[in-house]
Structure 1
Amino acid sequence: MNEIIQKKLLEIEEKYKVKILYAVESGSRAWGFPSKDSDYDVRFIYIHPSEWYLSIDPQGIGVKRDVIEEPINDLLDISGWEITKALRLFRKNNPPLLEWLRSNIIYYQKYSFVDNIRSLESSVFYPNSMLHHYLNMAKNNYREYLQGPEVRIKKYFYVLRPILACKWIEKYNTTPPISFHELLEDSLQEGELKNAIEHLLKRKLIGDELDIEPRIYVINDFVESEMERLEENVKSLKVEAKDPTKILDELFRNTLQEVWK
């Protein structure tokens, strides 16, 4: 599969006349709980030639789209963000982007951009937006998938992972790791709850994720109490946001010059 993805990335560069800076796996494979039939979610950051930016029409409007999305099939979902879009989202501590930067499945990395943006992360960290993002993700998924008497197994992880990410942010005031296993080990002590989650994880990894079964009350109780607690904590959190625009502008210009010389 790696060869197919590499070939697809080269085709995208040629088709759209861009250079890809970084491409990784996201989603369940990167999080550490894929099932046997999980597809590949490839995400990338790319940059246009200089003249694309030197025009009267701003990027992201009209024909100057700031995303590339290839048709999705049963095996591969591949899309990317243009560099200035990525940097604007980085300025807001966008969690999906920060997860890309932590993925341990890297399909492509070239030039100094990714190393440079990673070096800036601690100086622009803003926990408020990240906590809001993960908490809202947990609440929305819980409301949609986990309130009935029977639930689909895999949906538990799309609520548990953002909750554990919030707990990491509260504890360390840093961006959480992408690995579900690392979040679980750090957040929960041995006991009934952790045992139930680990048992569920084993079942998902062997392909039981589509099974519909009675809700697991020890997990539901944990989810409900944590969402309520986090809601109150987020309301009381007051952190002054930093403005890294100047250094991100410089990073963009330096990357543009490095790539296209």
Structure 2
Amino acid sequence: MSIEPAIRPEIETRLSAVEAEDGVRLLLAIESGSRAWGFPSPDSDYDVRILYVRPRRDYLALSPVRDVIERVIVDEIDLNGWDIRKALGLMLRNNSVLSEWIESPIQYRDAHPVIARMAELKDRHFDPNGFALHYAKLGRTSVTRWLQAAHEVSVKRYFYALRPALAIRVLRRDPSRRPPMQLQQLMAEADLPPSAGEEIERLVALKANTREAGPIARAPEIDALIADELGRAGEVPARPPSEAFAAEANDLFLDLVEDT
């Protein structure tokens, strides 16, 4: 999960450029994608993700300011992220991606205190069914490209379906908390058959020496695991929606913006 020391100064330079060019304050700057998930390839991008807040006047303007910042990928650095208002809206819709950003083990900046408030708020109002359905959607997006196709699959796409499937399995076993983002932690909590665990470890080792788009032979046991778990998201219990969730998220947003 380490980032090469030589790349960190360049990432910090680009983060500072975002603040200066877009007039925003960064609240979170982390690594997402395969490096943080625990299965990088030799040519994996650096998936730098940010949450940011704008000056208060921008939120009061007649014309809304764009709520996404994106930079062109240069030298394998893929930098983009969301305005805090967009992020909070996604949090209310049980977006698992946002949850993973908050929990990423690789941080490029110290997180603003508001991020801890977001995590605490999400934990108190966590809807396991909402997360499971979101993971199922993410997994199926990858699966539809190869599950009924050839005997080989892009190594990247294989893992992009496997990790959501494992997250659903973990949620089925323990719906009381958000699943971890890293593959190895998911495996530890998923209670997998030994043969499946060994096969996944073999695939991780293979991916470490294979280009992201490189093909690998599909494993029937892993295919079956993915298909089964993506189809069982509906078994994860739902938590009734709470009006307090939206009210508290709104208070968090107002407190933050009033300080800018």
- TM-score higher than 0.5 here? yes
Q: What is the alpha-carbon distance in structure 2 between the residues aligned to residue 144 and residue 74 of structure 1?
A: 28
Number of the residue aligned with 1:129: 130
Q: How does 1:50-199 map to 2 (within 5 A)?
A: 50-57=56-63, 59=64, 64-147=65-148, 148-173=150-175, 174-199=177-202
Q: What is the alpha-carbon distance in structure 2 between the residues aligned to residue 226 and residue 53 of structure 1?
A: 41
Deviation at 1:233, TM superposition (A): 2.1
Change (3 A) 1:7 1:246: same
Instruction: Summarize deviations over 1:123-145 as a string: whole Å, max 9, x none.
Output: 22112221111112222312212
Number of the residue aligned with 2:247: 246
SS of structure 1 residue aligned to 2:20: helix
Q: What is the alpha-carbon distance in structure 1 between the residues aligned to residue 193 and residue 222 of structure 2?
A: 14
Deviation at 1:161, TM superposition (A): 0.4
SS of structure 1 residue aligned to 2:145: helix
CA contact (8 A) 1:146 1:156 kept: no
Instruction: Summarize deviations over 1:7-65 as a string: whole Å, max 9, x none.
Output: 111111110111111110011111011111111011111111111112233x3xxxx10
SS of structure 2 residue aligned to 1:106: coil
Whether 2:226 is the aligned partner of 1:220: answer no
Q: TM-score, normalised by structure 2?
A: 0.89
Q: What is the alpha-carbon distance in structure 2 between the residues aligned to residue 143 and residue 82 of structure 1?
A: 31
SS of structure 2 residue aligned to 1:71: coil
Q: What is the alpha-carbon distance in structure 2 between the residues aligned to residue 209 and residue 45 of structure 1?
A: 26
Unpaired segments ≥5 residues, structure 2: 1-6
Q: What is the alpha-carbon distance in structure 2 between the residues aligned to residue 177 and residue 161 of structure 1?
A: 10
Change (3 A) 1:182 1:231: closer
Q: What is the alpha-carbon distance in structure 2 between the residues aligned to residue 27 and residue 35 of structure 1?
A: 11
Identical-pair percentage: 33
Q: What is the alpha-carbon distance in structure 1 between the residues aligned to residue 38 and residue 220 of structure 2?
A: 24
* Aligned match for 1:24, one of 16, 25, 30: 30
Change (3 A) 1:227 1:119: closer
SS of structure 2 residue aligned to 1:175: coil
Change (3 A) 1:20 1:238: closer
Q: Which moved more, 1:198-207 or 1:175-184?
A: 198-207
Size of the alignment, in residue pairs?
251
Deviation at 1:223, TM superposition (A): 2.2
Unpaired segments ≥5 residues, structure 1: none
The code of the aligned residue for 1:100 comes to: W
Q: What is the alpha-carbon distance in structure 2 between the residues aligned to residue 90 and residue 238 of structure 1?
A: 16
Change (3 A) 1:209 1:242: same
Instruction: Summarize deviations over 1:181-216 as a string: whole Å, max 9, x none.
Output: 000122134522221111111111133654434422
Whether 2:20 is the aligned partner of 1:14: answer yes
